Amino acid sequence: MKIYIETYGCQMNEYDSEIVRAVIAAADMESTSDIHAADVILLNTCAVREHAARRVIARIHEIHHLRRDAPALIGVLGCMATNLKKNLPKRKKLPIDFVAGPDAYRRLPELIRAATTSDEVPYDIELSDYETYADVYPRREGGINAWLAVMRGCNNFCSYCVVPYSRGRERSRSPQSVVAETQRLVAEGFRQVTLLGQNVNSYRHEDVDFAELLRRVSEVPGVLRVRFISPHPKDFPLHLLKVMAGHPTICKHVHLPLQAGNDRILKLMRRTYSKKHYLDLVEQMRSIIPGLALSTDIIVGFPGESDAEFEDTVDVVQRVRFDSAFIFKYSERPGTLAARKYPDDVPEAVKTERIVRLNEMQRQISTEIFSAQIGAVQDILVERQGTKKSAQQSQGRNDANIMVILNSATQVPGTMVRARIHDATAHVLKGKALDD
Ligand code: 5AD
Ligand code: SF4
């Protein structure tokens, strides 16, 4: 059996696909990167916005068509799986053969076998309060960065968000298992570990909180950089900021989802902080961690968001001056609190206007922030020799996770080089290694 897997959505899904590859290998099934050669085609899906879900549906039909002369089994994994149950009887409209939710990957070989022998659509979309796959060592593709999920699920129930429904409740794996995996990663040549969780800083295992976990991982010999995504602003105690400030291997970068800047909208979103809270937190972070880079997620056009309320978001973006921002139009997700209570009443044209305005503003800010780095000397963790544009360059990232193009190909992936920045755009920096 040859299995092909395609991944949509966030880094947690990337990681889960690596878990799936490990489960498949343990069942003596082979992975292939050739969709035409596959007996089984897995789509690891995202449900966070309607657009993501629609893309997957279109892709299922496309694959079905592509393999019409030699049909393969098509399986749906991940966040869309959970919602498919209701629609299974209508499967004639959607040519899928089995479904496995985010907590059912251990049963994949069984589901695949069942799908080969049955006309039914076998599925397991049960969500677990315990599954962390802590004992499954993911099949990573190599490289410099390794994803490592330390917690799964979410208890926040932000009103717009499908994740608590698609991925279930929060659960954390033991710090011992995280540290042991980090040690193994270093031995295999990985140099950066990115801790993952839907609310990564809500991590708690017995008396170990996220700050303590981060400290332990950052002290594993051979780890050059530790990152984490995505945190929630509600879980940034002072001692976490101090751990970040005091450990050189922990990157001085926080992705701090804002979502909205207006208190009424934040309340309807159930975000548990106000505009002032958020701004105060940013100030506190910057005073404890000098030079901290900040990025964010923003949703425009939440139900009922007025022009004046949107201006509060604009105001926060102007005041904080994020290094980068991902901005989304509100997308109603079936089953969420917002979908049940608040009509999606901001016209599409208004959402577009708002997203365009914020994107332009952010582009300007990013360009200014990056241009100000020209002349600075930064530590670049080299990722590869050669870039899309030239074999005579190498590519890496600075501490803030910004891509830096180095103007020689002599740098070795996995090493940290000091480089002087000499050029900047809104998305990349260019530099020259000091010893080049
Ligand atoms: N509509 C638009 N954006 C959303 N996000 C989550 N749910 C929705 C939704 N229903 C965004 C949030 C989150 C990011 C991963 O996706 O900004 O931080
Ligand atoms: Fe998409 Fe959220 Fe699931 Fe990640 S956790 S794949 S962003 S729905």
Ligand 2 atom closest to 44 (CA): 6
Mean pLDDT over residues 174-187, rounded? 98
How high is the pLDDT of residue 88?
Answer: 62
DSSP string, 390-428: -TT-EEEE-TT--EEEES-S-PPTT-EEEEEEEEE-SSE
Q: Kindly state the average pLDDT of the residues 386-392.
A: 87
Q: Is 9 in the pocket of ligand 2 (CB under 6 A)?
A: yes
Q: If pLDDT is split at 50, 70 and 90, which confidence band does 87 have?
A: low
Average pLDDT over residues 124-144: 95
Return the pLDDT at 352.
98
On the question of pLDDT at 91 being above 80, the answer is: no
**Nearest alpha-carbon partner for 182 in 228, 218, 151:** 218
Residue nearest ligand 2's atom 1 by CA: 46
User: Does the structure show a pLDDT above 80 at 188?
Assistant: yes
Specify the residue with its C-alpha closest to ligand 1, atom 16: 48
CA 262 distance to own-chain centroid: 25
Across residues 331-348, what is the average pLDDT?
97
Q: Is the pLDDT of residue 238 over 90?
A: yes
| The Cα angle at residue 334 between residues 107 and 203, in degrees rounded to 5 | 55
Nearest in space to 317 (alpha carbons), one of 365, 283, 350: 365
Spell out the domains of the chain, with CATH numbers in brackets. Answer: 2-124 (3.40.50.12160), 142-251 (3.30.750.210), 258-372 (3.30.750.200), 377-433 (2.40.50)
Q: Measure the CA–CA gap between 65 and 22, rounded to whole angstroms.
A: 29
User: Is the confidence at residue 277, as pLDDT, over 70?
Assistant: yes
Per the prediction, the chain carries an average pLDDT of: 95
The Å distance, Cα 394 to ligand 1 centre, comes to 34
Residue 99: what pLDDT?
95
Task: Pick the ligand that lies closest to the CA of residue 300.
Answer: 1
Contact 26, 53 (CB under 8 A): no
Whole-structure pTM value? 0.96
Q: Which atom of ligand 1 is nearest to the CA of 10?
A: 15
Q: Are 424 and 368 in contact (CB under 8 A)?
A: no
pLDDT of residue 272: 96
Residue with tokens 């994949």: 108
β-strand 293-300 against 171-172: which pairing, if any? Answer: unpaired
Nearest to 310 by CA among 351, 340, 271: 351
Nearest bound ligand to the CA of residue 301: 1
Residue 23's pLDDT band, with cuts at 50, 70 and 90, is very high
| Phi, psi angle pair for 423, to nearest 5° | -160, 155
For the segment 189-214, what is each residue's pLDDT rounded down to a tens digit? 999 999 999 999 999 999 999 999 99
